[in-house]
Amino acid sequence: MTFSFPVVPRYAEIDQQNVVFFGHYLTWCDEAFTAFQTAVGYPYPAMIADGVDIQIVHAELDYGASVAWGDAVSIEVENEKVGTTSMTTRFSIRRRASDAEPWADAVTVSLVHVCVDATSFTKVPVPSRLGSALAGSRG
């Protein structure tokens, strides 16, 4: 399953080069991951209720093209790996300036989340519900 998350670049996210400031791509991916969790059947509030939270411990961004104000943006979210205490997710940020244009790859992001106890923030195993939901999302 490929999950798509639409984004509308806001004026405040545009820098003096007239493109999205790079830090906002991470915010968009965080929002997309939260929506992805809901789509695969294990929403963030359920995870917290189960006593588990997640923290990003590694992020990589590779740029292919800029995103400008007014562009349509879609983030495709795919789980790449579920480990014992962590998971790796890939985000393909695609853009187009108008409906007449094809979608173009802009930025690829890889995030590694580690599961932690929601109270003590010590590392814990990936909850079976989350691991199963993410594994089920892979084609």
Indicate whether 1 pLDDT > 80: no
Distance between CA atoms of residues 122 and 114, nearest Å: 10
pLDDT for position 127: 92
- Domain 3-137 sits in which CATH superfamily? Hotdog Thioesterase (3.10.129.10)
Question: pLDDT (tens digit, 9 = 90+) per residue, 22-75?
Answer: 999 999 999 999 999 999 999 999 999 999 999 999 999 999 999 999 999 999
Distance between CA atoms of residues 52 and 93, nearest Å: 28
Distance between CA atoms of residues 101 and 33, nearest Å: 27
pLDDT for position 139: 60
What backbone phi and psi angles, to 5 degrees, belong to 127? -55, 140
pTM of the model: 0.93
